[in-house]
Chains A and B, each alone.
Chain A
């Protein structure tokens, strides 16, 4: 059988490569100085979907909620073999916490309609929360398996996966449909295909058009238009989207200030070290 698969992918700042000017002096993040990337474990999620497509056949729809520039992860998905891509972009969606994000994603999935599998990354590296997957599954009332490192078996109506636990791993079998979150161990994501890159390199979403000049738009004969849905398209209540729909608020962001304890410089000499050891012994810290 052929499966309907929805992949959840997010564009994130590259927090693994934070350099000097990415942090402002007040300790907040200078987002502009950070390059954005395809969230690493979402590439693993896409790869898992593509593996299923290769083996059994599947229609893969990639969904992302983000600013217009997030269309880049959708292009990257098309280059690798996604069949359909949807950008959920709307000012009303901005500054969403995980609850508001899962609300929007779940409504978009309801609009897409049929699915056997929803596959996301275990977590996004901008917040490392790992919450959006389970929160979306709950809103859709489907089962979930998180931290999946292997899809062991897939049948018409069931799936067996191996997932990490705190003390090792477990293999579970359950029914479709299901939402999975995938870890980096699961696979090595494939690179973009040259052929598909040529086909889709000019794929644009309507709201991105503003970012391109007339010349560019005229020059490409027929840019593939990436679907863009706003809150009206998915029937979202604005009070549950974005900042207003987010129960959590950031009260404060701090630079990490290293607390200086009562620091003692110990001289690297026989007497310096003897004093240190005696002190620790007399306080019963060692001995």
Chain B
């Protein structure tokens, strides 16, 4: 069976986290289809990344090194990745749904005339039956590309049964990395490219790096506050609980819109996707768009005055009560038991 490939995105000469997350998923998909997992790595001076890619699950690396690929630009990158795909003939190619991943993948799909599903949050392998004009066609081991649609109000499963490769971009933060410490070598297939001058017309004049002041994925504990927290002043209690537990503060969009906290902390469909060991949702009702970004958390505690709040439907522990009353108790109890 043909391979499952992951396009490896380099950001500031480092492999983007999402690329490693995708290698984890690609291994699962490959296993289900009795295939191997591979990486597409292009750029300049990139050999130092080989070991990491093998450790994170690539069996083969398809690589093109060329000075003209030093920085991302749509034209030369499209040409190079298409050449690799045409040579390696994978069944599936996955891309991170980053700004540049979503710039590149559609061009490749357009050139190869294949399907592409944007911003998936889940991928599975399964069978598919197509009925057309009374005829039934059965497909085995098709890629199910699962994503929220219509502003997050529904979940759609998309398939692309008749075209190869099947391609999808996948949200950062939703797939789990799988590190395999035993293997750090594998096969490297070097593919040469010849990029004509007329494709080298994008010149990067300046890049501005804005450091996010929080990395929501840096901690295994998140304490998130919502509209129910009521004010910026009250949010201090959220910060205090987070600090006590050694966690990070998150927020719903309503809390961000109300200026209780800045947008870097937003969790959900239009914010960051997280999957900490523990997620404490305080004064968050649990609308679909919020849940989309945190439902994979290992354990969820919900604190809400409304016993019918939808957040309780996905919570593992629910405390019906006013956070002003509950949080100080949590802090005090934790400190006592810790001693």
Chain A residues within CB distance 8 Å of chain B: 13, 15-16, 18, 22-23, 27-29, 97-99, 102, 125-139, 143-147, 160, 163-175, 246-256, 258-268, 270, 272-274, 276-278, 280-281, 285-287
Cβ of B207 within 8 Å of any chain A Cβ, yes or no, is yes
Residue numbers in A under 8 Å from B315 (CB-CB): 261, 263
B292 smallest CB distance to A (angstroms): 8
In the assembled complex, the Cα of A146 lies from the Cα of B202 at a distance in Å of 12
- Per the CB 8 Å criterion, the residue count for chain B at the interface is 86
Residue numbers in B under 8 Å from A165 (CB-CB): 99-100, 207
A13 in contact with B150 (CB, 8 Å): yes
Residue numbers in A under 8 Å from B326 (CB-CB): 268, 273
Could you give 30 example pairs across A and B, Cβ below 8 Å?
A15-B150, A18-B153, A23-B154, A27-B154, A97-B115, A98-B109, A131-B118, A134-B103, A135-B107, A166-B11, A170-B207, A171-B205, A172-B205, A173-B205, A248-B116, A248-B145, A248-B159, A250-B156, A253-B149, A253-B155, A254-B156, A256-B148, A256-B154, A259-B295, A260-B314, A261-B300, A261-B314, A266-B317, A270-B333, A273-B329
B278 in contact with A280 (CB, 8 Å): yes
Q: Contact check: which of B148, B300, B321 meets A268 at CB < 8 Å?
A: B321
B116 in contact with A137 (CB, 8 Å): no
B168 smallest CB distance to A (angstroms): 10
Which residues of chain B from 121 to 146 have a CB within 8 Å of any chain A CB? Answer: 128, 130, 144-145
Q: Contact check: which of A136, A171, A175, A280 meets B206 at CB < 8 Å?
A: A171
In the assembled complex, the Cα of A141 lies from the Cα of B227 at a distance in Å of 48
B203 in contact with A99 (CB, 8 Å): no
Q: Contact check: which of B75, B221, B318 meets A143 at CB < 8 Å?
A: B75
Residue numbers in B under 8 Å from A247 (CB-CB): 113-115, 160, 162-163
Cβ of B106 within 8 Å of any chain A Cβ, yes or no, is yes
With contacts A251-B144, A251-B158, A287-B338 known, is A146 near B110, CB below 8 A?
no
Chain B residues within CB distance 8 Å of chain A: 11-12, 16, 74-75, 78, 98-100, 102-107, 109-111, 113-119, 128, 130, 144-145, 148-151, 153-163, 201-210, 221, 245-246, 277-278, 286, 288, 291, 295, 298-301, 310, 312-321, 325-326, 329-330, 333-334, 337-338
Residue numbers in B under 8 Å from A272 (CB-CB): 319
B115 in contact with A256 (CB, 8 Å): no
B209 in contact with A99 (CB, 8 Å): no
A-B pairs with the 6 shortest C-beta distances?
A247-B115, A15-B151, A268-B321, A135-B110, A248-B115, A138-B110
Q: Contact check: which of B159, B320, B329 meets A251 at CB < 8 Å?
A: B159
Q: Contact check: which of A102, A170, A262, A280 meets B110 at CB < 8 Å?
A: A102
B207 in contact with A169 (CB, 8 Å): yes
Residue numbers in B under 8 Å from A266 (CB-CB): 301, 317-319
B149 in contact with A248 (CB, 8 Å): no
B298 in contact with A167 (CB, 8 Å): no
